[in-house]
A and B are shown apart, each in its own frame.
Chain A
Amino acid sequence: MNWNFTDTWIVVTGVLCAVACALPGCFLVLRKMSMMGDAISHAVLPGLAIAFLFTGSRASLPMFVGAAVTGVLTALFTQWVNRFANVDRGAAMGVVFTTLFAIGLVLIVRAADHVDLDPGCVLYGAIETSAPIVPSEVPRAAIINGIVLLLNLGVITLLYKELRLSSFDPSLSDTLGFSSSLLHYLLMTIVAVTTVAAFESVGSIIVIAMLIVPAATAQLLTHRLLPMLVIASAVGAASAVLGHIGALTLPSLVGFTDTTTSGMMAFAAGVLFTLAWLFAPHNGIVTRLLRKPEPRPTDLPTS
């Protein structure tokens, strides 16, 4: 393995992005909204296209705003179709994001005469290209994902109690005066911003995987929220490191030259999840098989 400063920056960017995703991801998992990240990452396409059609450039800021706005709109539309039209939430999400994605594709095809805005590149953006040429330069992707991480950390620290309450008991939260729907949209905004930031610099696969898989792994290991957030962040960071090492070493083992770090990060996260699934201290499949059978009630001394 040939490690240099580029690899260091890729791993740093990956870790920042993974942790930034894992934090809101925990709340998505707790709120049974795991598929929202996938929906949002598809549905930001028309936002990108419209921002481009309006400004005529691929400048980052308008694109970022456009995409983040469509991301939040996805959540809003989904909620409407779910609530007012009484459609199952999964179906509502599916209707909304496929429609938005289709609108985005049509807009891009219409705009394609003028520019190459390739849906493929939007979906697959590569983390490798975010690394700098010279060692001293801090890559933009690292800065953006670092800012998003700080933002997410800040919001979750400030609103920890409220978010926890509204995730576990929305009606109690409403009764106590913390509007659960306001918190829902705040969370959706965070997810949209995180998605778009990661999207632009490191590709959408990372977002979808890092939102859900570390959080799910953490949920296998603990029942409490604070440990869950910590474990999810750790699993996310570990997936980034292992993913990049895997991307450097694995292909040569099976006779190929290279692969993508983002894909391998998702793979590494999957491996970590599987380990927790099998060996979690309390509920792992193997752990449960190896554990001595607990004494049955009849074996207990009777008084």
Chain B
Amino acid sequence: MPFSFHDFVEVLTLQSYNTRLVVAATWCLGIGSGLVGSLLLLRKRSLMGDVLSHATLPGIAIAFAIVASLGGAGKSLPALLVGATLSGLAGVAVMLAIRRTTRLRDDVAMGFVLSVFFGTGVAILRMVQNLPGASGLTDYIYGRTASIVLSDLLLIALVTTAVIVTVVLLLKEFTLLCFDEAFAASEGWPVLLLDTLVLALVTAVTVIGIQAVGLILVIAFLIIPAASARFWTENMKLMLVISAAIGGISGHFGALLSDLFADLPSGPVIVLTASSIFLISMFFGGKRGVLPRYMDHLKLKRRVGRQHLLRSVYEILEASDQPVSNRPVTLQSLLQHRSWTMGQLKRKLSLARREDHLEPTSDPSAVLLSESGFGEAARITRNHRLWELYLIHHAEIAPSHVDRDADMVEHILGPEMVRELEAELAPDLQIPASPHLI
């Protein structure tokens, strides 16, 4: 791939008119589809773009046939767009009808519309292929990003503006529709109308997008930016903004990349740019990313391990001596108390030592709690017992099952919950006896 520094600068600074057009168009499309894609994602209908883009085919073919047989130029853009839109909306109508009148689920309704409409479209397309001017009609399906013209850009900008205005005006309604459809319906909101409006916006974006950048890119643009944005925020407004930004940015860089390397097709490159952003978000994104969640999990596991160790020591002390006093406990008795291996126990001990819960002892086969460790052990044991009592008295769980369930939940008990339990179950601040054999 030979290119000079000069080319590089020229592309990066958007010197060429064509690059500027493509970048502007993909920005607009990225923003529009990022917005409606978020609504689809939250409605668990991400594949709607896929369905709609296939459902436009019969409309395109029929519109072409009608215009061509009336003697017009069959591939007139407005006619094809009208056909595509009508056919996409028909697909939406069939989908909503299946969902409302049968017990078939969303995914079946989508699969049905996608395959039947697309198959019918292919059949009609083949019928009309001999009409004058039909050659290249199927190119429509794959788009022609590199050859976007000014009128395409204006059309895309118009649709994007419409999407932005609608989403901003109806933000409250859409939020409720996405998060609690049943509540919205019970409050008397026109849920079906809102639903149809969202799908109409998706149809508009899809139809405009397909003819400018191709089918696969539109599908990707409706799904990937929204799915990436979901990692970074829990806030709907923020998610819309981030999703739109990711759409715009991937359009920008993808278009530049494919411009730099002349033999890379722009549609797929833009998709791959968006996918890279998705991968980054998936691993590192906010609280929901894979790595942050893994770190949280590790932290919780450590805390649970430490609590188990301290409680075990306390329970051993408690068994040998009343009232409980702090004395060295042998490693052997700890191993017998819980089913840890020596390695696991050593790791837990070194962790506890680092947190100053253990006193250094001269005897390597025994451990001694520090003063703070002893207090913490008493506190943990008390919380555990309180929680067990709660489960037995209030959740009607058999005592033999309590220990395991208590172990799982007690580590995430909040302080208020503990106070409530105390007030109810152990008002004298004593550590209650274990409700089962230790």
Chain A residues at the B interface, C-beta cutoff of 8 Å: 29, 32-35, 37-38, 42, 81, 84-88, 90-95, 98-99, 101-103, 105-106, 109-110, 119-120, 124, 205-206, 208-209, 211-213, 215-216, 219-220, 247, 251, 254, 256-260, 262-267, 269-270, 273, 277, 283, 285
Contacts and interface: CB of A to CB of B under 8 A. Distances in A.
Given A85-B282, A265-B119, A277-B98, A95 B110 contact: no
Contacts of B110: 34-35
Given A85-B282, A91-B46, A267-B116, A220 B111 contact: no
Contacts of B119: 205-206, 208-209, 262-267, 269-270
Nearest to A105: B268
Task: Classify chain B: how many residues form its interface, as a range.
Answer: 35 or more
B44 A35 contact: no
With most chain B CB atoms within 10 A of its CB, the pick from A84, A101, A211 is A101
A90 B46 contact: yes
With most chain B CB atoms within 10 A of its CB, the pick from A103, A106, A213 is A106
B223 A98 contact: yes
B288 A95 contact: no
Contact of A35 (B107, B226, B230, B278): B107
Contact of B122 (A38, A91, A215, A260): A260
B111 A102 contact: no
A209 to B, nearest CB: 4
Contacts of A257: 127, 130
Nearest to B281: A85
B232 to A, nearest CB: 13
Given A93-B47, A216-B104, A266-B118, A87 B123 contact: no
Contacts of B290: 84-85
Contacts of A256: 127-128, 130
A254 B124 CA distance: 11
A212 B119 CA distance: 13
Contacts of B293: 86
B6 interface: no
A279 B66 CA distance: 33
B112 interface: yes
B263 A110 contact: yes
B50 interface: yes
B46 A102 contact: no
Contacts of B101: 277, 285
B123 A38 contact: no
Contacts of B126: 258-260, 263
A86 B127 CA distance: 45
Contact of B227 (A95, A205, A251): A95
Given A32-B105, A38-B111, A205-B118, A105 B265 contact: yes
Contacts of B426: none
A103 B267 CA distance: 11
Interface string B243-277: 00000000000000000000111011101100100
A5 to B, nearest CB: 23
Contacts of B220: 94-95, 98-99, 102
A66 B49 CA distance: 28
B102 interface: yes
Interface string B378-417: 0000000000000000000000000000000000000000
B120 interface: yes
A106 B272 contact: yes
Given A88-B44, A208-B118, A81 B282 contact: yes
A105 B103 contact: no
B146 to A, nearest CB: 12
With most chain B CB atoms within 10 A of its CB, the pick from A81, A94, A215, A251 is A94
Given A88-B41, A109-B265, A219-B108, 4 more contacts: A209-B116, A258-B127, A259-B124, A283-B103
Nearest to A123: B141
Interface string B190-213: 000000000000000000000000
A103 B226 contact: no
Contacts of B303: none
B46 A34 contact: no
B102 A277 contact: yes
Contacts of A211: 111, 115
Given A88-B44, A212-B112, A220-B104, A106 B268 contact: yes
Contact of B216 (A102, A109, A110, A219): A102
B224 interface: yes
With most chain B CB atoms within 10 A of its CB, the pick from A98, A206, A215, A262 is A98
A34 B111 contact: yes
25 contacts: A35-B111, A38-B50, A84-B290, A88-B227, A91-B41, A91-B46, A93-B46, A95-B223, A99-B271, A105-B267, A106-B272, A110-B263, A120-B141, A209-B118, A211-B115, A213-B111, A216-B111, A247-B123, A260-B126, A263-B125, A266-B118, A267-B116, A270-B116, A273-B112, A273-B116
Nearest to B44: A88
B298 to A, nearest CB: 15
A195 B119 CA distance: 16
Contacts of A88: 41, 44, 46, 227
B189 interface: no
A266 B116 contact: yes
Q: Which 3 pairs between the two chains have the least Cβ-Cβ distance?
A: A266-B119, A263-B123, A270-B116
Contact of A208 (B49, B115, B125, B264): B115
A94 B46 contact: yes
B181 to A, nearest CB: 15
B115 to A, nearest CB: 4
Interface string B78-118: 00000000000000000000100111110110111011101
